[in-house]
């Protein structure tokens, strides 16, 4: 089931049709050009209004992204790593599907490991030392002499 919700799954499903793109001024490399051209891509997606998600999936996504969602329920993903708006849109969409796929990853259950032979030996030795310490604190019984 975890394989089903890989990033490629959401792209094939058509998540790009539900995403609203907005261009903004981007900082960073580019010199004078960066002050004139809108190359930063902002993606907005509302999981509550999504047709791709079932009701259970919507609840899981909203619970997982509780702090990331705005008051109206919109998720905002930005990308400004590239100089091109088109590349930033692609990267932003990739970020969104990565985050969405991460919500549905089921973590493996932790299996506690057995103690190693060295740790067992060390524990035995420390118990022996503690035993001799406590034996030294006992009162001496004169009848044993």
Task: Say whether pLDDT at 125 is over 70.
Answer: yes
Q: What percent of the chain has pLDDT over 90?
A: 20
Q: Which domains does the chain have, with CATH numbers?
A: 3-103 (3.30.160.20)
* Cα dihedral sign, 9-11-14-18: positive
Tell me what pLDDT residue 136 has.
84
Rounded to 5 degrees, what angle do the CA atoms 19, 58, 78 make? Answer: 35
Q: What is the pLDDT of residues 36-86, one digit of tens each?
A: 888 888 999 888 888 888 888 888 888 888 888 888 888 888 888 888 889
């Amino acid at each position: 089931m975890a394989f089903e919700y890989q990033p490629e799954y959401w792209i094939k499903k058509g998540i790009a049709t539900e995403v609203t793109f907005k261009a903004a001024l981007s900082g960073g490399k580019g010199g004078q050009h960066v002050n004139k051209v809108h190359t930063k891509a902002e993606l907005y997606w509302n999981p509550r209004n999504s047709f791709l998600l079932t009701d259970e999936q919507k609840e899981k996504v909203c619970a997982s992204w509780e702090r990331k969602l705005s008051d109206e329920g919109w998720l905002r993903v930005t990308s400004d790593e590239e100089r091109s708006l088109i590349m930033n849109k692609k990267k932003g969409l990739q970020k969104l599907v990565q985050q969405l796929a991460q919500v549905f990853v089921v973590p493996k259950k932790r299996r506690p490991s057995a103690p190693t032979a060295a740790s067992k030996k060390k524990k035995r030795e420390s118990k022996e030392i503690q035993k001799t310490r406590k034996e030294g604190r006992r009162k001496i019984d004169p009848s044993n002499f």
